[in-house]
Homo-oligomer: A and B are copies of this chain.
Amino acid sequence: MRAAMARQLSRIMRPDDANIAGNVHGGTILKMIEEAGAIISTRHCNSQAGEPCVAALARVERTDFLSPMCIGEVANVSAEITYTSRHSVEVQVNVMSENILTGAKKVTNKATLWYVPLSLKNVNKVLEVPPIQYARKEQEDEGKKRYEEQKLDRLETKQRNGDVILPVINPDRQTKEPHTVGYSQSSLIHLVGPSDCTLLGFVHGGVTMKLMDEVAGIVAARHCKTNIVTASVDAINFHEKIKKGCVITVSGRMTFTSNKSMEIEVFVDADPFVDEPRERYRAVSAFFTYVSLSKEGKPLPVPQLLTETEDEKRRFEEGKGRYLQTKAKRQAQMQQAPQQ
A residues in contact (CB < 8 Å) with B:
7-12, 14-16, 19-20, 35-36, 38-39, 42-43, 46-47, 52-54, 71-72, 74, 76, 78, 98, 100-103, 120, 166, 168-174, 178, 186-191, 193-195, 197, 199, 214-215, 217-218, 221-222, 225-227, 244-245, 247, 249, 251, 271, 273-275, 279-280
Interface centre among A71, A100, A221, A274 (most CB of B within 10 A): A100
Pairwise interchain contact B188-A274, C-beta atoms closer than 8 A:
no
Residues on B with beta carbons closer than 8 Å to the beta carbon of A54: 101, 274
Are B273 and A43 in contact (CB-based, < 8 A)? yes
Residue from the list B35, B172, B191, B199 in contact with A218, Cβ < 8 A? B191
Q: In the complex, A273→B225 CA distance in Å?
A: 6
From B186, B193, B226, B273, give the contact of A10 (CB < 8 A): B186
B100, B169, B190: the one contacting A225 at CB < 8 Å is B100
CB-based nearest B residue for A121: B275
CA distance A76 to B53 in the complex (A): 20
Asked whether, in the complex, the Cβ of B14 is within 8 Å of the Cβ of A222, the reply is: no
Known: A14-B195, A101-B120, A188-B189. 16 other contacts (CB 8 A): A8-B9, A9-B9, A38-B191, A39-B189, A39-B191, A43-B273, A46-B273, A53-B274, A100-B221, A100-B222, A101-B225, A102-B225, A103-B178, A170-B170, A173-B280, A188-B190
Label chain A's interface by main secondary structure: mixed
Q: Given A166-B172, A189-B187, A195-B195, are A273 and B35 also a contact pair (CB < 8 Å)?
A: no
Residues of chain B lying within 8 A (CB to CB) of residue A173: 280
* C-alpha spacing A337/B199, complex, angstroms: 38
Instruction: Tell me how many chains of this kind the complex includes.
Output: 3
Whether B195 and A171, one on each chain, are in contact in the complex, defined by CB atoms closer than 8 angstroms, is no
User: Do residues B218 and A174 form an inter-chain contact, with CB atoms below 8 A?
Assistant: no
For the complex, give the distance between the alpha carbons of A218 and B172 in Å.
Answer: 21
From A42, A226, A275, residue with most partner B Cβ within 10 Å:
A275
**With A and B bound together, what is the CA distance between A215 and B221 in angstroms?**
23
Report Cα–Cα, A46/B72, bound state, in Å: 14
Are A103 and B47 in touch, CB under 8 angstroms?
Answer: yes
Residue of B nearest to A49 (CB): B277
Are A195 and B247 touching (Cβ within 8 A)? no
| A193 CB, min distance to chain B CBs, angstroms | 5
Q: Is the CB of A187 within 8 A of B221?
A: no
Beyond A15-B194, A20-B244, whether A274 also contacts B172 by CB under 8 A is no
A20 to B272 CA separation, bound complex (whole angstroms): 12
- State in angstroms the CA–CA spacing of A67 and B224 once bound together: 25
Contact among B46, B100, B222, B244 for A43, CB-based, below 8 A: B100
- 9 nearest interchain CB pairs? A20-B72, A15-B194, A15-B15, A194-B194, A52-B101, A43-B100, A100-B221, A52-B275, A20-B245
A279 to B174, CA, bound (A): 9
Determine the residue in chain B with the shortest Cβ distance to A6: B171
Could you pull out 8 A-B pairs where Cβ atoms are within 8 angstroms?
A9-B9, A10-B171, A10-B215, A12-B35, A43-B100, A187-B189, A199-B274, A226-B274
B214 and A171 within 8 A (CB):
no
